[in-house]
Amino acid sequence: MRDLKIIINADDLGETPAVNDATFSLMSDGRITSATMMANGPEIEAACESAHAFPNCSFGVHLNVTDHYPLSNPDPLRRILDGEGKFAGESAFRNVSINSELAKAVVDEFCAQIERIKSLGISVSHVDSHHHVHTMPNMFRVIKATQKQCDISAIRISRNITSPNETTSASLRLKKWAYNFALRHYIKTNTTQGFTDFDSFYKAAIIGQVHFETVEVMVHPGSKVYGEKETQLLKTFWEQDVNDEIRFVNFKNLHSNNRRF
C-alpha cells in the first residue's frame, strides 16, 4: 500500500461569511489542511483573524484579477476593469492582450494582495489564483516575477489529474507537463506532483488511477455553485474508499521537509 500525501486546499477564503464559516468548520474537523485567501475579498479581515486558531494548517494567497476591486493603482489595470472599477471577470481577463504595461500592473496587484495578507498577520505559505489565471501561458512571466519580488516558494501547478470519464488530448497533457516543469525549475519552486479538484481526485483514487506521491486537492467550501455536494463528501471518511494510505499534509510540511515535488 502506497503512502499518498494529500493537501486539501480550500480556495476563496475571505470572499463571503459562508465561505469562511464552511472552511473553518472543516478545518476544525480535520477535513481540510490548507486554504488560500482572497486578499481583496469583502470578508478577508475576518478570515485572517480566524486563521490564527489553526496553526497546523497552511494559508496562502488566492491571487485575483477577475473579481472585486483591485488593491493597487487601478489606472494601469483599466483594460481588465469594468465601469465600476472592479475586475471585469474571467472572460475579460482571458481575452485581453497582456502587454508589458499590463503585465507590470498585474505583478504590482499580485504583490499588493500578498502584502495585504502578510499585514494581517498571516505567514504566506504558497499562492494559487482565482479562475487559475496564473496557469495561462502568457501569465508565466507574471507569476514568476511575482514569486521573485514577494519571495514566494510554493505555487499550485496546472491541473494534471482528471476524472476517469474525462478525455484530455495528448497535446493538452504535454502543454500542462511543460508548464509544470517550467514552474518548478525556472526559479526553483515547491509544488506537489499532482493537482486536481476533489471530485476528480476521489473518482480517480478509488480505482487506483492516482500515480503521484503528493497531490493538492482543491475544494470550495461555502460555494453556491458546487460547494454543498463537495462538502458533504468531505465530511465523510472518504479516504477509507481509497486503497492507498492517505496522509494529510499542508504546504508548510512541504517546506519543512525541504523537498520539491
pLDDT at 1: 66
pLDDT digits (tens, 9 = 90+) for 162-180: 999 898 899 999 999 999 9
Is 159 a residue whose pLDDT tops 50? yes
Confidence tier at 258 by pLDDT (50, 70, 90)? very low
Region 101-129: mean pLDDT is 98
Region 183-207: mean pLDDT is 96
Confidence tier at 257 by pLDDT (50, 70, 90)? very low
pLDDT at 113: 98
Is 71 a residue whose pLDDT tops 60? yes
pLDDT at 260: 40
pLDDT at 26: 97
Q: How many CA atoms lie within 13 A of 154 on its CB side?
A: 29
pLDDT at 131: 97
- What are the extents of the domains in the chain? 3-256
Region 124-136: mean pLDDT is 98
Q: Cell numbers at residue 167, please?
A: 478525455
Per-residue HEC secondary structure of 147-181 comes to HHHHCCCEECCCCCCCCCCCCCCHHHHHHHHHHHH
Confidence tier at 243 by pLDDT (50, 70, 90)? confident
Q: Please give the CATH superfamily to which domain 3-256 belongs.
A: Glycoside hydrolase/deacetylase (3.20.20.370)
Is 129 a residue whose pLDDT tops 90? yes
Q: Which of 73, 95, 94, 69 is nearest to 82 (CA)?
A: 69
pLDDT at 253: 85
Confidence tier at 261 by pLDDT (50, 70, 90)? very low
* Contact criterion met (CB below 8 Å) for 5 and 247: yes
CA–CA gap between residue 39 and residue 37 (Å, rounded): 6
* Contact criterion met (CB below 8 Å) for 44 and 67: no
Region 74-87: mean pLDDT is 98
Confidence tier at 75 by pLDDT (50, 70, 90)? very high
pLDDT digits (tens, 9 = 90+) for 199-242: 999 999 999 999 999 999 999 999 877 768 888 999 999 999 99
